Structure 1
């Protein structure tokens, strides 16, 4: 069965303190998946890129010109629909972008009830959108996991750079508070017992509230049953390093992972991205928790942490990011202010150590 490539626009307005709002449509009853809610989009023609198709489809369906808007690449979702008898019905590849609308566009469409084809339009807050995720086609399920991802990700320095676990915890509690919603990847390069102690110490310093932690998956498996409730509540995701990703063990971990914590993986080249794509697809097919939802692609630029590794450069980074089926965090020699440049080359977000308070 031929795969149909579709461009999908997650149209969003940043309302500041009021929160994000998303413009969605309701599919006409005679269409495939009729009556379902949908993000605006449509088929990519043979002579089009995903981005050009995105602009054309939004203009055709809404009369909205997004050619000058920021369109952040999220990923590619491959899904096969079946009919009522369980037979293959339709195979799609959704090329998903989050498109940020400006205030003028928001005001123009805020009270518009119908699209150009008569489809019902509505604006949903972030909470309303996630509450209605079951009203969208099954292929869209992955988008809701991606929308939970931050666009900044801080990485800790090793424990050896501090005088004690307590000093490390106090430092990164302040980093978490300053960076607000940016999670912290706990990269201690220390023993498993020290890592567990550091996580417990952060929970005590912040009274269990300020930090959102990402921890190494293999280490988490060793101490998860020993963590206090407050410490466990801080952990929002798990991570596979590059070497773990490339082993057969990674497939077993993802395939048998039943805890609803998303997994991120480190990638440095095309083979590792292909492996991450396979694991992301596997976790979706198996329905095992959130699965693999994003990668960290590095090093974009040379770093003090790994001076022996030449940077990819933005052009090569963009080529590799385009191979990923999941959102990409740019990593290596970057600062938070580099987000826009990284997104121009296909990143979802940006990550780092020293430039992020490390």
Structure 2
């Protein structure tokens, strides 16, 4: 096993940096996230700081753990620990790459990409803020109005979860929510039976933990995620190749009084070293984004707090930037 640390270096506009491998090395000419091998006695974070200074001439000021993926290359079996680099000093320039490129998530990618890096690109296009609907509690029209307002403000990830609606009411509500989400270019997932979601033409499916455990293969949707409460459930989601997981409850919630919450330390421990993005859920608002991402979360999912969405909550504050270019996302 070769341990490798890789950096997702992200600017304030959301673009991230890729480099093309140069010289007499395996996969020369392939694009990758900058980074390199972890040396004996180093942590992955220490190795990445060293590698980025050697490869790009930048000094990392702030990074966060993100994903961990394994890949069996012809020349080595590698474990890649990806970190989000959100603040640095200096301007990146190629010292071991013959080209550098700033890429927009979801946009056109340079080819060819290193095989282990390819799946990370989809994860980068996953929005950071998920709003979970509650039409059964607040009313269908009020929820649709709140959804439309939040989408217009920049919300781009919606889970339609309505256990309080009957099948007909859910169908009608989900159909309108899907229309609004598609109009805004948002990712929409339905928390319902796969066959029902397919009949509505939904691009995504969200699985409750009980349905996740019963699955033997990934359902055929563009986006598939699951609600998880334990490490075993998270590993099941990862093993099925799902696109994301929700983990909670991180904090106490009014809807589940007396339920023991995880807290951030347990969240960080349970979600560490997984190959899929994990969003924090439970008693949170999007203003908790910085705390969540420092604990290794991809982002935040919220129910009551989702419908006060502001675009600036989807990004980390730029105060960490100093002396050079800085990426915050």
TM class by shorter-chain length? 0.7 to 0.9
- In structure 2, stretches of 5+ residues that fail to align are 309-329
* CA offsets 1:39-94 (integer angstroms, 9 cap, x no match): 1011122422222221111112122110x22x233311111124xxxxxx421111
Whether the aligned pair in 2 keeps the contact of 1:154 and 1:352 (CA below 8 Å) is yes
Regions of 4+ moved over 4 Å: none
Q: How many residues align?
A: 306
Whether the aligned pair in 2 keeps the contact of 1:133 and 1:144 (CA below 8 Å) is no
CA spacing shift, 1:328–1:145, aligned 2, 3 Å: same
Q: How does 1:92-111 map to 2 (within 5 A)?
A: 92-101=78-87, 105=90, 108-109=91-92
Query: How much does 1:323 deviate?
Result: 4.4
* Corresponding position of 1:171: 146
Q: How does 1:206-355 map to 2 (within 5 A)?
A: 206=180, 209-210=183-184, 212-216=187-191, 218-225=192-199, 227=200, 232=201, 235-247=202-214, 250-252=215-217, 254=218, 257-259=219-221, 261-280=222-241, 292-355=242-305
* Corresponding position of 1:138: 115
Whether the aligned pair in 1 keeps the contact of 2:160 and 2:177 (CA below 8 Å) is no
Q: Please, what TM-score do these two structures have when normalized by structure 2?
A: 0.84
Q: Please, what TM-score do these two structures have when normalized by structure 1?
A: 0.78
* Corresponding position of 1:161: 137
* Corresponding position of 1:191: 166
Distance in structure 2 (CA, Å) of the matches to 1:48 and 1:237: 40
* CA offsets 1:261-293 (integer angstroms, 9 cap, x no match): 12111111122122122222xxxxxxxxxxx12
CA spacing shift, 1:311–1:356, aligned 2, 3 Å: same
* Corresponding position of 2:319: none
Distance in structure 2 (CA, Å) of the matches to 1:258 and 1:121: 36
Which deviates more, 89-98 or 141-150?
89-98
Confirm whether residue 13 of structure 1 aligns to residue 11 of structure 2: yes
Confirm whether residue 61 of structure 1 aligns to residue 11 of structure 2: no
Q: Relative contact order (alpha carbons < 8 A, sep ≥ 6): 1 or 2 greater?
A: 2
Distance in structure 1 (CA, Å) of the matches to 2:266 and 2:212: 21
Confirm whether residue 90 of structure 1 aligns to residue 88 of structure 2: no
Query: How much does 1:130 deviate?
Result: 4.4
Distance in structure 2 (CA, Å) of the matches to 1:21 and 1:242: 33
Query: Larger helix proportion, structure 1 or 2?
Result: 1
Instruction: Indicate the RMSD between aligned Cα atoms, in angstroms.
Output: 2.3
Query: How much does 1:193 deviate?
Result: 2.9
CA spacing shift, 1:56–1:207, aligned 2, 3 Å: closer
Q: Which structure is larger by alpha-carbon Rg, 1 or 2?
A: 1
Of residues 37, 40, 44, the one that matches 1:43 is 37
Confirm whether residue 26 of structure 1 aligns to residue 20 of structure 2: yes
